[in-house]
Amino acid sequence: MFDWTHDPHRRFNPLTREWVLVSPHRTDRPWQGQTEEKAVDTEPAYDPKCYLCPGNSRAGGVRNPAYTSTFVFDNDFAALKPDTPVERFDQDGLLQAESEPGICRVVCFSPRHDLTLAGMELASLRQVVDTWADQYAELGAIPWVRYVQIFENRGAMMGASNPHPHGQIWSNERVPNEPAKETQQQHAYTTARGGCLLCDYLALELRDGQRIVCQNEHFVALVPFWAVWPFETLVLPRAHHGALTDLAPDARDGLADMLRRLTRRYDQLFQISFPYSMGLHQRPTDGAPYPEWHLHAHFYPPLLRSATVRKFMVGYELLGQPQRDITPEGAAERLRALSE
Ligand SMILES: [Zn+2]
Ligand SMILES: [Zn+2]
Ligand SMILES: [Zn+2]
Protein backbone atom coordinates (compact mmCIF):
# COMPACT_ATOMS: atom_id res chain seq x y z
CA MET A 1 0.00 0.00 0.00
CA PHE A 2 1.39 3.37 -1.03
CA ASP A 3 1.70 5.85 1.84
CA TRP A 4 1.65 9.51 0.76
CA THR A 5 3.14 10.59 4.10
CA HIS A 6 6.07 8.21 3.74
CA ASP A 7 6.74 6.96 0.21
CA PRO A 8 8.65 8.97 -2.44
CA HIS A 9 6.44 10.63 -5.00
CA ARG A 10 6.26 13.67 -7.23
CA ARG A 11 3.69 16.45 -7.21
CA PHE A 12 2.46 18.68 -10.05
CA ASN A 13 2.42 22.47 -9.92
CA PRO A 14 -0.53 23.50 -12.13
CA LEU A 15 0.63 27.14 -12.14
CA THR A 16 3.93 26.31 -13.86
CA ARG A 17 3.48 22.75 -15.24
CA GLU A 18 6.53 21.67 -13.25
CA TRP A 19 6.97 18.72 -10.91
CA VAL A 20 8.57 18.54 -7.45
CA LEU A 21 9.97 15.35 -5.92
CA VAL A 22 8.82 14.64 -2.33
CA SER A 23 10.91 12.22 -0.24
CA PRO A 24 9.23 12.23 3.20
CA HIS A 25 10.89 9.00 4.40
CA ARG A 26 14.12 10.96 4.74
CA THR A 27 12.61 12.82 7.69
CA ASP A 28 11.64 9.72 9.67
CA ARG A 29 14.16 10.86 12.22
CA PRO A 30 12.37 12.86 14.92
CA TRP A 31 11.82 16.57 14.37
CA GLN A 32 15.12 18.21 15.16
CA GLY A 33 13.92 21.78 15.08
CA GLN A 34 16.52 23.36 17.25
CA THR A 35 16.22 27.01 18.17
CA GLU A 36 19.30 29.20 18.28
CA GLU A 37 20.02 31.76 20.91
CA LYS A 38 17.77 34.62 19.97
CA ALA A 39 19.92 37.22 18.24
CA VAL A 40 20.12 40.39 20.26
CA ASP A 41 18.29 43.13 18.42
CA THR A 42 21.12 45.50 17.66
CA GLU A 43 19.51 47.58 14.92
CA PRO A 44 18.85 51.19 15.95
CA ALA A 45 15.59 52.94 15.02
CA TYR A 46 17.70 55.31 12.93
CA ASP A 47 21.10 54.53 11.40
CA PRO A 48 23.07 57.58 10.22
CA LYS A 49 24.98 55.36 7.77
CA CYS A 50 21.87 53.75 6.19
CA TYR A 51 21.12 55.01 2.69
CA LEU A 52 17.40 54.22 3.18
CA CYS A 53 16.80 56.06 6.46
CA PRO A 54 14.93 59.41 6.28
CA GLY A 55 17.12 62.45 5.66
CA ASN A 56 20.23 60.42 4.73
CA SER A 57 22.07 60.77 1.44
CA ARG A 58 22.23 58.01 -1.17
CA ALA A 59 24.61 57.21 -4.01
CA GLY A 60 25.29 60.29 -6.08
CA GLY A 61 24.49 62.61 -3.21
CA VAL A 62 20.67 62.51 -3.48
CA ARG A 63 19.17 63.09 -0.05
CA ASN A 64 16.10 61.13 1.14
CA PRO A 65 13.22 63.30 2.35
CA ALA A 66 12.23 63.14 6.04
CA TYR A 67 9.55 60.61 5.10
CA THR A 68 7.11 59.36 7.76
CA SER A 69 5.35 56.36 6.17
CA THR A 70 6.45 54.65 2.92
CA PHE A 71 8.98 56.12 0.49
CA VAL A 72 9.54 55.16 -3.16
CA PHE A 73 12.49 56.14 -5.37
CA ASP A 74 14.15 54.98 -8.58
CA ASN A 75 16.93 52.51 -7.77
CA ASP A 76 20.32 54.24 -7.95
CA PHE A 77 21.82 50.99 -9.26
CA ALA A 78 18.93 49.90 -11.48
CA ALA A 79 19.21 46.61 -13.40
CA LEU A 80 16.93 48.09 -16.07
CA LYS A 81 16.78 51.54 -17.65
CA PRO A 82 13.76 53.15 -19.36
CA ASP A 83 15.78 54.77 -22.17
CA THR A 84 17.43 51.55 -23.43
CA PRO A 85 17.66 51.73 -27.27
CA VAL A 86 15.63 49.14 -29.18
CA GLU A 87 17.74 46.35 -30.64
CA ARG A 88 17.26 42.71 -31.55
CA PHE A 89 19.66 39.95 -32.49
CA ASP A 90 18.90 36.55 -33.96
CA GLN A 91 21.36 34.11 -35.46
CA ASP A 92 19.75 30.93 -36.81
CA GLY A 93 17.25 31.05 -33.93
CA LEU A 94 20.00 29.74 -31.67
CA LEU A 95 21.50 33.02 -30.57
CA GLN A 96 18.64 35.34 -29.68
CA ALA A 97 18.78 38.58 -27.72
CA GLU A 98 16.68 41.68 -27.47
CA SER A 99 16.91 45.01 -25.69
CA GLU A 100 14.87 45.16 -22.48
CA PRO A 101 13.82 48.57 -21.15
CA GLY A 102 12.50 48.82 -17.62
CA ILE A 103 12.18 50.83 -14.44
CA CYS A 104 13.50 49.63 -11.06
CA ARG A 105 12.25 51.22 -7.86
CA VAL A 106 12.91 50.78 -4.16
CA VAL A 107 10.06 50.92 -1.63
CA CYS A 108 10.94 51.72 1.97
CA PHE A 109 8.20 50.14 4.07
CA SER A 110 8.80 52.35 7.10
CA PRO A 111 11.04 55.20 8.24
CA ARG A 112 12.08 52.94 11.14
CA HIS A 113 15.39 51.20 10.43
CA ASP A 114 14.76 48.46 13.01
CA LEU A 115 11.36 47.14 11.89
CA THR A 116 10.28 44.23 9.67
CA LEU A 117 6.86 43.45 8.20
CA ALA A 118 6.29 41.24 11.27
CA GLY A 119 6.95 44.13 13.63
CA MET A 120 4.94 46.82 11.87
CA GLU A 121 1.53 48.09 12.96
CA LEU A 122 -1.47 47.16 10.83
CA ALA A 123 -2.02 50.77 9.71
CA SER A 124 1.59 50.95 8.48
CA LEU A 125 1.27 47.62 6.66
CA ARG A 126 -1.88 48.95 5.00
CA GLN A 127 0.21 51.89 3.73
CA VAL A 128 2.65 49.38 2.23
CA VAL A 129 -0.24 47.60 0.46
CA ASP A 130 -1.58 50.94 -0.83
CA THR A 131 1.89 51.96 -2.02
CA TRP A 132 2.27 48.65 -3.90
CA ALA A 133 -1.17 49.14 -5.49
CA ASP A 134 -0.36 52.75 -6.48
CA GLN A 135 2.98 51.72 -7.98
CA TYR A 136 1.37 48.84 -9.88
CA ALA A 137 -1.16 51.32 -11.32
CA GLU A 138 1.40 54.03 -12.10
CA LEU A 139 4.04 51.80 -13.66
CA GLY A 140 1.47 49.58 -15.38
CA ALA A 141 -0.04 52.67 -17.05
CA ILE A 142 3.21 53.33 -18.93
CA PRO A 143 2.39 52.06 -22.45
CA TRP A 144 5.49 49.89 -22.90
CA VAL A 145 5.44 48.37 -19.38
CA ARG A 146 3.85 44.92 -19.64
CA TYR A 147 4.69 43.56 -16.20
CA VAL A 148 5.19 45.03 -12.73
CA GLN A 149 7.04 42.69 -10.36
CA ILE A 150 6.83 43.65 -6.68
CA PHE A 151 9.12 41.70 -4.33
CA GLU A 152 11.09 41.73 -1.10
CA ASN A 153 14.36 40.00 -0.21
CA ARG A 154 14.40 39.75 3.57
CA GLY A 155 17.59 38.95 5.46
CA ALA A 156 21.27 38.68 4.65
CA MET A 157 20.75 34.98 3.77
CA MET A 158 18.60 36.13 0.85
CA GLY A 159 21.14 38.72 -0.22
CA ALA A 160 19.42 41.76 1.28
CA SER A 161 22.24 44.24 1.61
CA ASN A 162 20.50 46.49 4.13
CA PRO A 163 18.32 45.54 7.14
CA HIS A 164 16.14 48.63 6.66
CA PRO A 165 12.63 47.29 5.79
CA HIS A 166 12.30 47.70 2.04
CA GLY A 167 11.31 45.94 -1.13
CA GLN A 168 11.77 46.45 -4.84
CA ILE A 169 9.64 46.87 -7.93
CA TRP A 170 10.99 45.95 -11.34
CA SER A 171 8.73 46.79 -14.27
CA ASN A 172 9.70 45.94 -17.81
CA GLU A 173 8.65 45.61 -21.40
CA ARG A 174 8.20 41.84 -21.47
CA VAL A 175 6.48 39.50 -19.04
CA PRO A 176 9.18 37.58 -17.08
CA ASN A 177 9.37 33.76 -17.06
CA GLU A 178 7.40 32.93 -13.88
CA PRO A 179 4.35 35.16 -14.45
CA ALA A 180 4.46 34.18 -18.15
CA LYS A 181 4.10 30.49 -17.20
CA GLU A 182 1.31 31.34 -14.75
CA THR A 183 -0.49 33.46 -17.35
CA GLN A 184 -0.42 30.59 -19.82
CA GLN A 185 -1.53 28.01 -17.25
CA GLN A 186 -4.38 30.08 -15.82
CA HIS A 187 -5.60 30.83 -19.34
CA ALA A 188 -5.41 27.16 -20.35
CA TYR A 189 -7.33 26.11 -17.23
CA THR A 190 -10.11 28.64 -17.82
CA THR A 191 -10.34 27.68 -21.48
CA ALA A 192 -10.56 23.96 -20.68
CA ARG A 193 -12.72 24.02 -17.55
CA GLY A 194 -14.42 27.38 -17.40
CA GLY A 195 -13.47 28.36 -13.85
CA CYS A 196 -10.43 30.02 -12.30
CA LEU A 197 -7.49 27.76 -11.46
CA LEU A 198 -6.71 29.44 -8.12
CA CYS A 199 -10.37 29.95 -7.07
CA ASP A 200 -10.92 26.22 -7.62
CA TYR A 201 -7.63 25.35 -5.89
CA LEU A 202 -8.41 27.54 -2.86
CA ALA A 203 -11.89 26.02 -2.50
CA LEU A 204 -10.32 22.55 -2.54
CA GLU A 205 -7.70 23.53 0.07
CA LEU A 206 -10.33 25.10 2.35
CA ARG A 207 -12.38 21.88 2.21
CA ASP A 208 -9.30 19.76 2.95
CA GLY A 209 -7.71 22.02 5.56
CA GLN A 210 -4.41 20.22 6.12
CA ARG A 211 -2.27 22.72 4.22
CA ILE A 212 -3.94 25.90 5.55
CA VAL A 213 -1.68 28.04 7.79
CA CYS A 214 -3.96 30.96 8.71
CA GLN A 215 -6.86 32.90 7.27
CA ASN A 216 -8.99 35.99 7.70
CA GLU A 217 -12.15 37.31 6.09
CA HIS A 218 -10.39 38.21 2.82
CA PHE A 219 -7.15 36.19 2.53
CA VAL A 220 -5.83 32.68 3.14
CA ALA A 221 -2.19 31.61 3.63
CA LEU A 222 -1.37 27.98 2.84
CA VAL A 223 1.56 25.72 2.03
CA PRO A 224 0.83 24.78 -1.59
CA PHE A 225 0.47 21.07 -2.40
CA TRP A 226 3.42 21.50 -4.82
CA ALA A 227 5.66 23.62 -2.52
CA VAL A 228 9.39 23.35 -3.29
CA TRP A 229 10.90 25.32 -0.40
CA PRO A 230 10.44 23.70 3.06
CA PHE A 231 8.15 26.43 4.47
CA GLU A 232 6.99 28.00 1.22
CA THR A 233 3.54 29.62 1.37
CA LEU A 234 0.99 31.00 -1.05
CA VAL A 235 -1.26 33.89 0.02
CA LEU A 236 -4.56 34.06 -1.87
CA PRO A 237 -7.54 36.42 -1.78
CA ARG A 238 -10.76 34.47 -1.25
CA ALA A 239 -12.45 36.57 -3.94
CA HIS A 240 -11.36 36.55 -7.56
CA HIS A 241 -9.15 39.61 -8.08
CA GLY A 242 -6.41 39.97 -10.70
CA ALA A 243 -4.47 42.82 -9.14
CA LEU A 244 -4.00 44.85 -5.95
CA THR A 245 -5.81 47.76 -7.58
CA ASP A 246 -9.01 45.66 -7.63
CA LEU A 247 -8.98 45.26 -3.84
CA ALA A 248 -11.51 47.32 -1.86
CA PRO A 249 -10.28 49.05 1.32
CA ASP A 250 -11.40 46.21 3.63
CA ALA A 251 -9.65 43.61 1.44
CA ARG A 252 -6.46 45.70 1.54
CA ASP A 253 -6.73 45.65 5.33
CA GLY A 254 -7.13 41.89 5.03
CA LEU A 255 -3.90 41.59 3.06
CA ALA A 256 -2.05 43.79 5.57
CA ASP A 257 -3.35 41.57 8.40
CA MET A 258 -2.30 38.41 6.55
CA LEU A 259 1.23 39.75 5.91
CA ARG A 260 1.58 40.53 9.59
CA ARG A 261 0.21 37.22 10.83
CA LEU A 262 2.22 35.08 8.41
CA THR A 263 5.55 36.86 9.01
CA ARG A 264 5.01 36.69 12.78
CA ARG A 265 4.50 32.92 12.51
CA TYR A 266 7.66 32.65 10.41
CA ASP A 267 9.64 34.57 13.05
CA GLN A 268 8.41 32.09 15.70
CA LEU A 269 9.51 29.02 13.76
CA PHE A 270 13.22 29.18 14.60
CA GLN A 271 13.05 32.17 16.96
CA ILE A 272 14.81 34.48 14.52
CA SER A 273 13.84 37.23 12.10
CA PHE A 274 12.93 34.80 9.32
CA PRO A 275 14.63 35.30 5.92
CA TYR A 276 12.65 34.93 2.71
CA SER A 277 12.04 36.15 -0.79
CA MET A 278 8.43 37.15 -1.27
CA GLY A 279 6.61 38.68 -4.17
CA LEU A 280 3.23 39.44 -5.66
CA HIS A 281 1.98 37.97 -8.90
CA GLN A 282 -0.66 40.04 -10.65
CA ARG A 283 -2.06 40.21 -14.18
CA PRO A 284 0.24 41.70 -16.84
CA THR A 285 -0.21 45.38 -17.67
CA ASP A 286 -0.19 45.24 -21.47
CA GLY A 287 -3.82 46.36 -21.68
CA ALA A 288 -5.45 42.95 -22.20
CA PRO A 289 -8.11 42.14 -19.55
CA TYR A 290 -6.74 38.74 -18.32
CA PRO A 291 -10.03 37.75 -16.61
CA GLU A 292 -8.48 34.39 -15.62
CA TRP A 293 -5.70 36.00 -13.52
CA HIS A 294 -5.93 35.48 -9.73
CA LEU A 295 -3.70 37.76 -7.62
CA HIS A 296 -1.43 36.02 -5.09
CA ALA A 297 1.79 36.33 -3.10
CA HIS A 298 4.54 33.72 -2.84
CA PHE A 299 6.83 33.43 0.19
CA TYR A 300 10.02 31.43 -0.47
CA PRO A 301 12.01 31.05 2.79
CA PRO A 302 15.33 29.19 2.52
CA LEU A 303 15.52 27.72 6.06
CA LEU A 304 14.98 24.00 6.63
CA ARG A 305 15.62 22.78 10.18
CA SER A 306 17.01 25.66 12.24
CA ALA A 307 18.16 29.26 12.09
CA THR A 308 21.31 28.12 10.33
CA VAL A 309 20.39 24.99 8.37
CA ARG A 310 19.14 26.11 4.98
CA LYS A 311 17.93 24.28 1.93
CA PHE A 312 20.20 24.40 -1.09
CA MET A 313 19.06 23.99 -4.67
CA VAL A 314 22.02 21.95 -5.86
CA GLY A 315 22.90 18.69 -7.60
CA TYR A 316 19.76 16.79 -8.52
CA GLU A 317 17.65 19.92 -8.12
CA LEU A 318 19.70 21.88 -10.63
CA LEU A 319 20.07 18.97 -13.00
CA GLY A 320 16.88 16.99 -12.46
CA GLN A 321 14.03 18.62 -10.55
CA PRO A 322 13.38 20.27 -7.18
CA GLN A 323 13.13 17.92 -4.20
CA ARG A 324 11.90 18.26 -0.62
CA ASP A 325 11.96 16.05 2.47
CA ILE A 326 9.28 17.31 4.87
CA THR A 327 5.86 17.16 3.29
CA PRO A 328 3.90 20.37 2.61
CA GLU A 329 1.30 19.00 5.06
CA GLY A 330 3.96 18.63 7.77
CA ALA A 331 5.25 22.14 7.12
CA ALA A 332 1.72 23.58 7.34
CA GLU A 333 1.12 21.73 10.61
CA ARG A 334 4.25 23.30 12.14
CA LEU A 335 3.37 26.79 10.94
CA ARG A 336 -0.22 26.37 12.14
CA ALA A 337 0.92 25.41 15.65
CA LEU A 338 2.78 28.71 16.15
CA SER A 339 1.30 31.84 17.66
CA GLU A 340 1.01 35.14 15.87
ZN1 LIG B 1 17.73 52.64 7.61
ZN1 LIG C 1 -9.84 33.23 -9.06
ZN1 LIG D 1 2.71 33.08 -8.82
pLDDT of residue 26: 75
How many A from CA of 167 to the centre of ligand 1?
13
Task: Say whether 166 is catalytic.
Answer: yes
How many A from CA of 252 to the centre of ligand 2?
17
Longest dimension (CA), the chain: 67
How many A from CA of 33 to the centre of ligand 2?
36
- State the average pLDDT for the chain: 94
Task: Provide the pLDDT confidence category of residue 109 given band limits of 50, 70 and 90.
Answer: very high
Task: Provide the pLDDT confidence category of residue 158 given band limits of 50, 70 and 90.
Answer: confident
pLDDT of residue 189: 98
How many A from CA of 48 to the centre of ligand 1?
8
How far apart (Å, rounded) are the C-alpha atoms in residues 276 and 319? Answer: 24
Give the number of the ligand closest to the Cα of residue 282: 3
pLDDT tens digit string along 284-311?
A: 999 999 999 999 999 999 998 888 888 9
Burial class (CB in 10 A: 0-12, 13-18, 19+), 305: middle
How many A from CA of 182 to the centre of ligand 3?
6
| Percent of the chain whose predicted confidence (pLDDT) is above 90 | 86
Give the number of the ligand closest to the Cα of residue 291: 2
pLDDT tens digit string along 217-254?
A: 999 999 999 999 999 999 999 999 999 999 999 999 99
**Taking the model in full, what pTM does it have?**
0.95
Give the number of the ligand closest to the Cα of residue 108: 1
User: Is residue 256 predicted with pLDDT exceeding 70?
Assistant: yes
- Check 166, 241, 294, 296 and give the catalytic one: 166
DSSP state of 101: -
- For 38, left (φ over 0), alpha (ψ -120 to 50), or beta? beta
Task: Provide the pLDDT confidence category of residue 34 given band limits of 50, 70 and 90.
Answer: very low
Q: Which residues pair with 114 in a beta bridge?
A: none
